[in-house]
């Protein structure tokens, strides 16, 4: 599935129109964010997670979306079900990220 680029303007709507959502919060200067991006893309295409919408949010330019998940470090991931935050965490480990997806 394609990764949706979201921002403060579209974030609420993106959460409402998708039952299960994972959000990757990143910044252009974040090296760890860049290193995780290929894994994020690969997992967005993984059949196990086909019912989850993958969003990308630039944390520096979207304070409203960042606040909804209490982002405090990058990269940061949050999972939402029906627009409600289920869990959020900062990680660079693929296994930790998959465990987060499995909570949906």
User: Could you give the domains of the chain?
Assistant: 4-102 (3.40.30.10)
Asked if 102 is an active-site residue, the reply is no
**Opening angle at CA 56, ends 63 and 80, nearest 5:** 80
pLDDT value at residue 18: 94
Whole-model pTM: value is 0.95
Tens-place pLDDT, residues 80-97: 999 999 999 999 999 999
Asked if 33 is an active-site residue, the reply is yes
Name which of 33, 18, 12, 23 is nearest 54 in CA terms: 23
Predicted confidence (pLDDT) at residue 1 exceeds the cutoff of 80: no
Q: Which of 15, 21, 23, 30 is catalytic?
A: 30
Tens-place pLDDT, residues 35-69: 999 999 999 999 999 999 999 999 999 999 999 99
């Amino acid at each position: 599935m394609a990764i949706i680029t979201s921002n403060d303007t579209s974030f609420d709507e993106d959460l409402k129109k998708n039952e299960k959502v994972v959000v990757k919060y990143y910044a252009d200067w974040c090296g760890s964010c860049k290193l995780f991006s290929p894994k994020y893309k690969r997992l967005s295409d993984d059949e196990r997670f086909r019912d989850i919408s993958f969003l990308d949010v630039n944390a520096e330019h979207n304070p409203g979306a960042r606040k909804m998940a209490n982002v405090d470090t990058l990269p940061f991931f949050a999972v939402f079900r029906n627009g409600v935050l289920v869990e959020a965490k900062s990680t660079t480990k693929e296994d930790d990220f998959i465990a987060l997806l499995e909570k949906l």
